[in-house]
Structure 1
């Protein structure tokens, strides 16, 4: 409490407000150049994206010890349904010679398929940050003036990197523009002011620049891994939480401007009263994200600190820069609805007052009916399929997937992603005896002569369960070896995601519950709030699955969706319930329980609904991304936030609080006494 008072005095002092502004201007000037380099730190591929400690990760780490270990294959498929002609062979040979300047090593002559209808050219490339650029040169060369009737496709790791690079090209700027446009629209509708909407937007922009700069510096100097798509999640998270916190502060500031003649004093009071729920909210999201540090999957592990940095950036801006700006600009910033000292708040009878009265009439029936709606939506998740194959990695069918199909049709086994076995001695005989193995390559010795690497072609596609079973059999047949790449990587990722769900989800629930217990000083209320948020998650999952299956045409959910969706839904969904219930607690302490619940709902209804729309919009923008996983995360979180905002928070939680009575605050002091000092009722504004 003392710390919040000091911070409030610093941000709203008549002289210190200018110092705060100047400090933030200096921070932004320093941060912008680094923030602009964030995309340079994004990695196309890395062992950091693989499960920590898995066999496939060890294989990737050992790869540089072998000749050409840093090579990524660029496989070019030449297919003619009527049969390869001499002219086709000449074309493939000409491409081989022309691509020698791009390749990282010798290019073997084109390999013909047994059916005589395909040729395969393997162009080795250096697997570094320029992989997609090298792959683009290959694609441009082989598809230039292609002979009629000859299909030419680039696939392999290089082709996949190129497809992902093409999909993300200039996308981050487009996503940011769409996000700003949506947030602006919600703020204009909320405030109906030509100027006030700019402040939350400016705050979000500053938060994003500072967060991006910190993430970039950590990537450059602390080896923080940034995968493609993480910057989009960071954009959505920072814009969402910063705007939400700003909306809450603005609502409290507007209230206090009617009670205080001095705007500095009004902001000091507003900041002190808003600090507890805002800081608790930021702590909930940050600690929830940091639970990902217990994850083994590289993407999950790295997202935790990146997301926490974004949330802390938003918190710092809303608790310091925004109050200073509001006090500097004065009351006119609310024009045309300027709150004056002594003004009477708008009369009761707004939408949230009416909702509150209807909920209070039959609270038990209301929360039972609301729970039934959530259960019906959650039933949509029954029979959900998880695990997207490579073909559906992007929302459109990429060229590398077409090339992979062509090679699989004309060559035995999967040529694009072989399994690699690293051992101290040759294991060729044991590998050939494993069912599901189509071909075993020639063993290759490491540069120091201590290890052997053998490439294994499987009969089944790497994404299939049959391929994963074959990997399990290979590992059983050669227990002293490390088996990675191809289907082995897919198996390890699936196992890691299952591990992360088992470990991280209980951690998140425990952290959120503890924070709610500390803030609300009760046990029953936090348990009920957690239960409603979890219920809204499963309802959103069921509704999303129906959309994905029948509207989007996705055959399955990405394996990361369950964890990512749960994390964002619980951490962010609890926010609105936290804002509501903390305000209800404040009002109950000044009146009776029923009045406090209805006043809390009426006073927070408008601002929390606006905040929910902002957050749903920022995550909904992910739906335009080409990466299927990001589309699914965006849709799931957006639906979940809307459900939580307009059903759980506005109807079910107030109904539960009213039905439980003072037991809602058990074992806290509010469950045992009637408040001594009752503040006169004040009309709620909506």
Structure 2
């Protein structure tokens, strides 16, 4: 028994973890040069998010080809409560003259005073930055430096802010560019804290955290490769969510694998053999759940909005990189470290864990006594919470997208208050040069238009600047934009500009919801049917996660305005939160139903199987749910409203799914349906054969 074959097998077992470790070092060496370049291909302008066929996208592309290239538009805003003095106006004139003398402007800025005399604005435009975002940011910052340098004390006490589309874009880019560090550090800190509390070990928590960091680095390199090969859109939002998914989903998989590995170490002497048994036991469920999440996210490829379409592949990359790392690198490191990594709670071979009553066994028992009552009460509660979605604030305006107001937002709010009767942000019309006069006439005759000016021409196109009577992104200005598009329809002209871009974002998101939501539901349903060999169980899980999504949006509606003080809701919140909550919620449902089906195949009746599945998977999956919710909650600490909203809704949804829907409602529905939950599969036709409940294990066994 101890001859050469046994020695060879032992050598192979010893060599495998080192081989995997070496392979990962090689992979990281290859991915390293690309991972660092991901930030270079990240774009966060509104027009970068839009589909190529949108009117505002066409306007941006044509303007970039006109003489001088794309125009950067700013507004210098001077304000003093109680009225600007003569010295204030002179100081403003000196500053604007300095801007004109030192920077290349399209035209001489002319001051426009407000009716109350408190505010004076100077529209400033330049084509010098062109399409280079770094050059645009440098131009904006140069204007700000000059605007804040009066040279004398004549303007002391007068506020000077730089707003307009260019300044808003620069401030947004600065925020997105600064997200990576704080997002990563905060996520790592949150996951580390939770792992320390869960594992109660000074060393064990470092292993899954380090493996997740490796997976995140790999995902950045793969995401850059997707951008270079397929042109996948990379935004600050999508790259941030990818990091969240790597750490959240990756830690979830690690929790399941480590829990099963700890259990196997008690009955198998060699760590390598124990890990092999652990992966054989929980690996299929981990593969199935991660595959479902990735498939759900890839459904976003059907979206028309570039940012949403890019979010799908990047999210899937994050999940799959985390999966590969947790199924290969994590087991290798754990095997090499041996049992001592669990210190001080080392699972000795042949030992039994301390017996303790399971919280989830108690929850299952309470659901089992009156399953229909529990199911009905839960459904009413979720339905009542979902009604709060009607209280969600309206569409988020560009200037309201920051949690703390930068210079550009302060300027835009000052303008909105000082010029309520006047548009302060131009609408851009691009018309064929041969029809430019006709387009100018149509624009001047359009209701809600205050001023029309003919601009640059070149390449067969002419730029026309239109100023609306309504304030930027107000209902009045939106009506003017729509009227302009209706009037110019069929004449080869396009209507764009910052407000038109926001309108196109809203319309495209509405279109994407109608297209992507059914695709996600159909794809996830087909996967669940194939996994569970049933139709009723998959429908039950889908209904549950859709109810969670509705309730999460309802809770958001109750707190976004009154508690957070948000003035609007990101147009993409509904679609993105739906995709994530359906994919991630079904992910946890798979663990529960997979274990339930395993118990039924082992001879248990459906009721016993449901309670056993809840008892044995509850603790580990609850820990996984807490980690995932906490990682998405990290987004609520970011300085952009759309990230805060997305993180809040997903975190709340994961918690609802973990502690209410999966624990009580899915279990109660399974108890109420009995064998019908497996219809029309063969398990639904087998007679119930009640079996005595198994002794409750002290340690939860994962599926």
CA contact (8 A) 1:414 1:457 kept: yes
The CA deviation at 1:494 is 1.3
**CA distance in 2 between partners of 1:597 and 1:319 (Å):** 28
- Contact 2:298 2:312 (8 Å CA) reproduced: yes
Structure 2 match to 1:474:
484
CA gap 1:680/1:338 in 2 versus in 1, 3 angstroms: farther
Match status 1:518 vs 2:541: no
1:182-228 CA-to-partner distances (Å, cap 9, x unmatched) read 11121112111111111211121111110012223333554332223
1:619, CA displacement in angstroms? 0.4
Asked if the contact 1:522–1:667 (Cα under 8 Å) also holds between the matched residues in 2, the reply is: yes
Residues 72-118 of structure 1: CA distance to partner in whole angstroms, max 9, x if unpaired?
Answer: 12321234566665644553444345445863545514434375652
Cα distance in 1 for residues equivalent to 2:554 and 2:86: 55
1:278 aligns with 2:264: no
1:642 aligns with 2:655: yes
Whether the aligned pair in 1 keeps the contact of 2:31 and 2:218 (CA below 8 Å) is yes
Q: Which of the residues 133, 136, 143 maps onto 1:138?
A: 143
CA deviations on 1:572-595 (whole Å, 9 max, x unpaired) are 111111111111111221131222
State the distance in 1 between where 2:17 and 2:689 align: 37
After TM superposition, give the deviation of residue 360 of structure 1 in Å: 1.6
Tell me the distance in 1 between the aligned counterparts of 2:483 and 2:522.
Answer: 38
8 A Cα contact 2:227 2:233, kept in partner: yes
Residue 122 of structure 1 aligns with which residue?
A: 124
Q: Distance in 2 between matches of 1:652 and 1:677?
A: 22
SS of the counterpart of 1:14?
Answer: helix
Which residue number in structure 1 is paired with residue 220 of structure 2? 212
Do the aligned partners of residues 412 and 428 (structure 1) sit closer, same or farther apart at CA in structure 2, a change above 3 Å counting?
farther
Contact 2:20/2:332 (8 A) holds in 1: yes
In structure 2, C-alpha distance between the alignment counterparts of 1:519 and 1:663, rounded to whole Å: 17
Q: Name the residue aligned to 1:5.
A: none
Alignment of 1:253 onto 2:261: yes
Q: Deviations over 1:581-619 (max 9, x none)?
A: 111111221131222222211111111011001001100
Three-state SS of the structure 1 residue aligned to 2:396 is coil
How far 1:670 sits from its partner (Å)?
Answer: 2.0
Aligned to 2:4: none
Q: Which one of 385, 388, 394 corresponds to residue 396 of structure 2?
A: 388
Is residue 638 of structure 2 the alignment partner of residue 633 of structure 1?
Answer: no
Within the candidate set 408, 414, 438, 1:400 is matched to 408
2:266 counterpart SS class: helix
Measure the CA separation in 1 of the matches of 2:56 and 2:450: 20
In 2: Cα distance, 1:352 partner to 1:471 partner: 57
Give the Cα–Cα distance (whole angstroms) in 1 for the partners of residues 321 and 10 of structure 2.
18
| Corresponding position of 1:362 | 370
Q: Does the alignment pair 1:660 with 2:694?
A: no
Q: What SS does the aligned partner of 1:549 have?
A: coil
1:641-662 CA-partner distances (Å, limit 9, x unpaired) = 0010001111111111111111
- Tell me, yes or no, if the aligned pair for 1:57 and 1:484 is still in contact at 8 Å: yes
Q: Name 2:520's counterpart in structure 1.
A: 508
Aligned with 1:558 (options 570, 573, 584)? 570
C-alpha contact (below 8 Å) 2:392/2:558 kept by paired residues: no
Q: 1:477 to 1:680 in 2, by over 3 A?
A: closer
Equivalent position to 1:596, from 598, 609, 612: 609
Q: Unpaired runs of 5+ in structure 2?
A: 1-8
Relative distance call for 1:132 and 1:11 in structure 2 (3 A) is farther
CA distance in 2, matches of 1:100, 1:429: 31
RMSD (Å), alpha carbons:
2.7
Q: Which residue of 1 aligns with 2:547?
A: 535
Measure how far apart 1:680 and its partner are: 9.6
Q: TM-score, normalised by structure 1?
A: 0.92
Name the CA distance, whole Å, in 2 between partners of 1:247 and 1:103. Answer: 57
Checking the alignment, whether the CA contact within 8 Å between 1:77 and 1:407 is kept in structure 2 is: yes
For 2:205 and 2:687, the matched residues in 1 are separated by 40
Measured in 2, the distance between the counterparts of 1:263 and 1:605 equals: 25
Superposition deviation, residue 676 in structure 1: 11
Residues 367 and 82 of structure 1, relative CA distance in 2, 3 Å threshold: closer
**Cα displacement (A) at 1:413:** 3.0
In structure 2, distance between residues paired with 1:364 and 1:505? 30
Structure 1 unaligned segments of length 5 or more: list them. 1-8
Q: Which structure 2 residues correspond to residues 155-194 of structure 1 after superposition, within 5 A?
A: 155-168=163-176, 170-194=178-202
The answer to whether residue 443 in structure 2 is matched with residue 431 in structure 1 is: yes
Q: Is the 8 A contact 1:529 1:577 kept in 2?
A: yes
Q: Which residue of 2 aligns with 1:152?
A: 160
Question: Structure 2 vs 1, CA of residues 507 and 10 (structure 1 numbering), >3 Å: closer, same or farther?
Answer: farther
**Alignment match, 2:5:** none
Q: Is the 8 A contact 1:13 1:264 kept in 2?
A: yes
TM-aligned CA distance change 1:412 to 1:419, over 3 Å: farther
Instruction: Give the conservation status (yes or no) of the 8 Å contact 2:427–2:495.
Output: no
Q: Post-superposition shift, 1:33? A: 4.4
Please give the secondary structure, in 2, of the residue aligned with 1:445: strand
For residues 17-70 of structure 1, the C-alpha deviation after alignment (integer angstroms, 9 at most, x for no partner) is 211111112222333443233323222426431134111111112112212232
Q: Is the 8 A contact 2:391 2:557 kept in 1?
A: no
Query: How many Å apart are 1:242 and its aligned residue?
Result: 0.5
CA distance in structure 1 between the aligned counterparts of 2:212 and 2:298, rounded to whole angstroms: 22
Corresponding residue of 1:4 = none
Q: Which range moves more in the overlay, 567-576 or 164-173?
A: 164-173
TM-score for the superposition, normalised by structure 2: 0.90
Distance of aligned partners of 1:210 and 1:102 in 2 relative to their CA distance in 1, 3 Å threshold: farther
Equivalent residue pairs, number = 676
1:327 aligns to what SS in structure 2?
A: helix
Aligned to 1:69: 69
Q: Verify the 8 A CA contact 1:364 1:655 in the aligned structure 2.
A: yes
Aligned to 2:361: 353
Quick one: distance in 2 between partners of 1:453 and 1:109?
A: 19
1:12/1:389 Cα in 2 relative to 1: closer, same or farther (>3 Å)?
Answer: farther
- Contact 1:423 1:482 survives alignment (8 Å): no
2:499 maps to which of 487, 491, 500: 487
Tell me the distance in 1 between the aligned counterparts of 2:683 and 2:287: 22
Matched, 1:575 2:587: yes
Cα separation, 1, equivalents of 2:664 and 2:83: 67
- 1:639 and 1:63 mapped to 2: Cα distance? 43
